[in-house]
Amino acid sequence: MALHPRFQPRRRGQAAVFVALCLMSLLLVVAFSTNTGIVVNDRIRMQETADLATYAVAYSEAASLNDITKKNQAIADAAQDCRTVLAHGGAPWVWPCNCTSTDPGAEIALQLCKVELDMAILDFVSTASYGRTVTPALEAGMATAKANFAGSERRTTFFDDIPGSPTAMGTYWVTWTTNFAGGGAIPSIADFQQMRDTAFNYQFMQFCGSHCAPSGLAMSPTYTLPTWFYKDDKEPDVWVAGRVAGTPAKRFLDTDYRSGGTDNGYFGASSTGGDDLLVAYAVAKPYDGSVGPSNLSGLAANGNSTPSPVYQAKGIDYPEMSMYDEYRARMAGIQDGLTGGLDPATLVMLDGIELGKSWDTSRFEH
């Protein structure tokens, strides 16, 4: 039974309410989609920034390792020059009326060799120092992060300042001894040990007979000098792991932003740190080079430290030194390593920081 029109509900404005509800829902959908789109885009840019910045660190370290390898080769070359000089063209050293166990002329040559070796060693130490290897690499990472994502910057008090961090100054060392100037140890990009028992000697003529008559050939004592370096690591690798993290600077993107408090953030995270950060990781590494011979097999790895190096200097068959300044950098995967615990690693944290804003320093600008 139909109601009398007087008692029927009024329907005027029903469409308006319906349209308003639809509009509101659609507006929410569009807003959420826009928000998601921007956040996804940010995440992609962060991954790009992480990749490129980490690669920049690895490339800079590869260049440093090439420089280090060249300096190491210079030490080996200086040692070889010494052998060549002491070999004396295959002829014994001759000092008139010398009946001692050494030859004065050869000893002078040996002292000059030591000076040359020391200069090359100190050049190596300087080149391998933390300030010329890790520092420029971290700066390259920061510069690359900034160039790709305005507002991002390295958080300087994390990996490189915490004692024990793989990137912290003092985690790896180059330890050295010279022939005249003593020695020491300074922070470096990796642990470098030095060959300190490289043997040198020479052959000379003794004149112990009456009226300085030659009495025969003799060998000098064997001098063991510090020379080149090897990288005292399990693998000839240096790793770089980078992280870029941050939250969008625009508050509307964070659907439940509360300054200084805990919230659910977008996608159920917290904008005040922790899980809310959009995070991108990347791994890269220098490869394809070798700073110096490994010490894994002890002295056998040091081909020039045979008991009679002079005779090698005559000729022939210098064992390969395995110094290749061909380092380049490549992207890597977590599965490639970072698990042994013995490989040198540089960790760089390039978190997004919105400068000049005190309310949240983890936010980056669009």
Partner 1 sequence: MRCRRGQSAVETMMVVPIVALTILSLYYLWSVIFASENAHIRAREYALHGDAYLPDSEGVSGSAPFSGSNYSRADSTSFRFEATATDESLAVFGHSDPIEATAVITSN
Q: Is 44 in the site for partner 1 (CB under 8 A)?
A: yes
Q: Is 28 in the site for partner 1 (CB under 8 A)?
A: no
Residues in the chain, how many? Answer: 366
Residues 6+ positions from 30 with CB-CB distance below 8 Å: none
Q: How far is the CB of 354 from partner 1 (least distance, A)?
A: 21
Residues 6+ positions from 343 with CB-CB distance below 8 Å: 233, 234, 235, 237, 238, 239, 337
| Contacting range for partner 1; rule: CB under 8 A; set: 65-73, 80-88, 293-301, 357-365 | 65-73
| Contacting range for partner 1; rule: CB under 8 A; set: 55-63, 157-165, 171-179, 335-343 | 55-63
Q: Is 63 in the site for partner 1 (CB under 8 A)?
A: yes
| Residues 142 and 153: beta-carbon distance below 8 Å | yes
Q: How far is the CB of 228 from partner 1 (least distance, A)?
A: 21
Of the pair 70, 196, the CB lying nearest partner 1 is at: 70
Q: How far is the CB of 79 from partner 1 (least distance, A)?
A: 25
Rounded CA gap, 134 and 142, in Å?
12
Helix 14-87 / helix 130-148 crossing angle, nearest 10 deg: 150
Site for partner 1 in 248-267 (CB under 8 A): none
Element spanning 345, H or E: strand 345-349
Site string for partner 1, 164-193 (x = CB under 8 A): ------------------------------
- The DSSP bridge partners found for residue 183 are 177
Element spanning 205, H or E: strand 203-206
Tell me the CB-side half-sphere exposure of residue 112, using CA atoms within 13 A.
12
| Contacting range for partner 1; rule: CB under 8 A; set: 16-24, 74-82, 235-243, 258-266 | 16-24
| Burial zone of 193 (CB within 10 Å; 0-12 exposed, 13-18 middle, 19+ buried) | middle
Contact pick of 51, 103, 233, 254 for partner 1 (by CB under 8 A)? 51
Q: Is 217 in the site for partner 1 (CB under 8 A)?
A: no
Of the pair 46, 79, the CB lying nearest partner 1 is at: 46
| Contacting range for partner 1; rule: CB under 8 A; set: 51-59, 74-82, 106-114, 290-298 | 51-59
Of the pair 40, 97, the CB lying nearest partner 1 is at: 40
Contact pick of 10, 225, 230, 331 for partner 1 (by CB under 8 A)? 331
Q: Is 5 in the site for partner 1 (CB under 8 A)?
A: yes
What one-character-per-residue DSSP string does 129-149 give? BHHHHHHHHHHHHHHHHHHHS
Contact pick of 1, 3, 15, 316 for partner 1 (by CB under 8 A)? 15
CB-CB neighbours of 199 under 10 Å: 19
- Assigned token pair, 236: 């000839």
- DSSP at 352: B
SS3 at position 87: helix
| Burial zone of 74 (CB within 10 Å; 0-12 exposed, 13-18 middle, 19+ buried) | buried
Q: Is 20 in the site for partner 1 (CB under 8 A)?
A: no
Q: Is 33 in the site for partner 1 (CB under 8 A)?
A: yes
Q: Is 55 in the site for partner 1 (CB under 8 A)?
A: yes
Contact pick of 23, 99, 212, 300 for partner 1 (by CB under 8 A)? 23
| Interface residue list for partner 1 (CB under 8 A) | 5, 11, 15, 18-19, 22-23, 26, 29-30, 33-34, 37, 40-41, 44-45, 48, 51-52, 55-56, 59-60, 62-67, 136-137, 139-140, 143-144, 147-148, 286, 288, 326-331
